[in-house]
Amino acid sequence: MDWDLALAGAHHLAVFTLVAIFAAEFALLRPGLASDRLPQLARLDAAYGGVATLVILVGVARVIFGSMGWEYYVANTAFWAKMAAFGVMGALTVPPTLAIRRWLKAGTPAETEIADARRYLHLQAAALLLIPLFAAAMARGYGS
């Protein structure tokens, strides 16, 4: 079996799943959010965290077991820029996640709270846009 191909395919599928969940969460977390939708939003948010963890685990497996070898990644600035963008994206998930957990207990959130959480999602989207750009640069040998 070609492990490099299997790991690359698994990584891409996990990333696309992460983006789909992000899009669903972005669509649901909007002005007028009703309290009966909060459990669905919380499930999406939890799935987002779970799939992000999967992206990391499969990505680490690619670095260690992939055909490029870990030395390529460690020395590549495009790789580290991609990791930094993913880290920023991850850090930006914390405030909305905490807000969603709080809303589950308190009920319907105020419009200002929704607007605050959406700002973090907008910033996440900006970081997300950088990731495929850095990945494409890395795949073409930039950064090494």
In a domain, 12, yes or no: yes
d(CA 46, CA 49) in angstroms, rounded, equals 5
Are the beta carbons of 54 and 11 closer than 8 angstroms?
no
Q: For all residues of the chain together, what is the average pLDDT?
A: 94
In a domain, 13, yes or no: yes
User: What tens digit of pLDDT does each residue of 40-50 get?
Assistant: 999 999 999 99
Two tokens, residue 86: 């993913």
Amino acid, single-letter form, for residue 69: G
pTM, full prediction: 0.90
List of residues 6+ apart from 82 with CB closer than 8 A? 130, 131, 134, 135, 138
Count of beta carbons in the 10 Å neighbourhood of residue 54: 17
Two tokens, residue 121: 């999602």
In a domain, 119, yes or no: yes
Count of beta carbons in the 10 Å neighbourhood of residue 7: 20
In a domain, 17, yes or no: yes
In a domain, 104, yes or no: yes
In a domain, 22, yes or no: yes
d(CA 72, CA 34) in angstroms, rounded, equals 48
Structural domain harbouring 91: 3-139
Torsion of CA 124, 127, 128, 134, to 10 degrees: -170
Number of domains in the chain: 1
In a domain, 49, yes or no: yes
Q: What is the DSSP string of 73-93?
A: HHT-HHHHHHHHHHHHHHHHH
In a domain, 144, yes or no: no
pLDDT band for position 143 (cuts 50, 70, 90)? confident
User: What tens digit of pLDDT does each residue of 48-107 get?
Assistant: 999 999 999 999 999 999 888 889 999 999 999 999 999 999 999 999 999 999 999 988
